Amino acid sequence: MQFDWKPLPAVHHEWRRPLRWLHGALALTISLQMFTSLIMSPPFHHHTSAFGLAVFSLHQYLGLIAAAVVMLHWLWMPFDRQRLFSHLFPWGEEGRRDIVDDLRTLARWRFPASDDRGGLAGLVHGLGLLAATGAGLTGVLLYLLAGSNPAPALLFYLVVQLHSLCGNLIWGYLAGHVLLAVVHHLIGQPTLKRMFSL
């Protein structure tokens, strides 16, 4: 079977400026968090170094900013006239129908149209936002727990595990998200330009 790279005709669709800025801040802060997590060493690990501790400090404070950005993204949703909420969480009847349509289109080896409705892309974006929200909430909780004396060890352990789980989900999401954004760009869809224009 041959893959038809041509996407279905794109319905003109713009992301509004506040959302483009919010997404830019989200992409930057979350990506930095993921990167710092690879080279940091928290004080409670066996092998720490001055560099690892400094990067961990950065992870903590930048993490608080990342969590605030995620929170702002949620707060923006009710004001977004493009029905952002139903784009990201297309769980209603109409949304589920759009997802099935997109899966059928993919089964015919074509890319689904890129338009206002959420469909499969919206569903995946929503799951990515949920993973980022989980990492932000557990990160803030870790920050608060680290400040309490003595920190409840079991709770701390459980929150670290949840934080790690969210981190792993974000790795999976980020890899697919960036890859698909680049593929869309290469086949001539203005997806990247639409999201990253000022």
Token representation of residue 197: 């224009």
Token representation of residue 99: 């997802």
1 versus 39: smaller Cβ distance to ligand HEM: 39
Token representation of residue 148: 């309490």
156 lines the binding site for ligand HEM (CB under 6 A):
no
Smallest distance, Å, CB 97 to ligand HEM? 19
Spatial distance between the Cα atoms of 7 and 9, rounded to a whole number of angstroms: 6
123 lines the binding site for ligand HEM (CB under 6 A):
no
Contact between 110 and 9 under an 8 Å Cβ cutoff? The reply is: no
26 lines the binding site for ligand HEM (CB under 6 A):
yes
Cβ-Cβ contacts under 8 Å for 43 (sequence gap 6 or more): 53, 56
114 lines the binding site for ligand HEM (CB under 6 A):
yes
Tell me how crowded residue 149 is: count the other CB atoms within 10 A of its CB. Answer: 5
31 lines the binding site for ligand HEM (CB under 6 A):
yes
Smallest distance, Å, CB 1 to ligand HEM? 25
90 versus 139: smaller Cβ distance to ligand HEM: 139
88 lines the binding site for ligand HEM (CB under 6 A):
yes
| 3-class DSSP state of 47 | coil
Spatial distance between the Cα atoms of 82 and 94, rounded to a whole number of angstroms: 16
Residues in contact with ligand HEM by the rule CB under 6 A: 19, 23, 26-27, 30-31, 33-34, 37, 42, 59-60, 63-64, 66-67, 84, 88, 114, 121, 125, 128-129, 132, 135-136, 139-140, 142-143, 146, 160, 163-164, 167, 170, 174, 177-178, 181, 191-192, 194-195
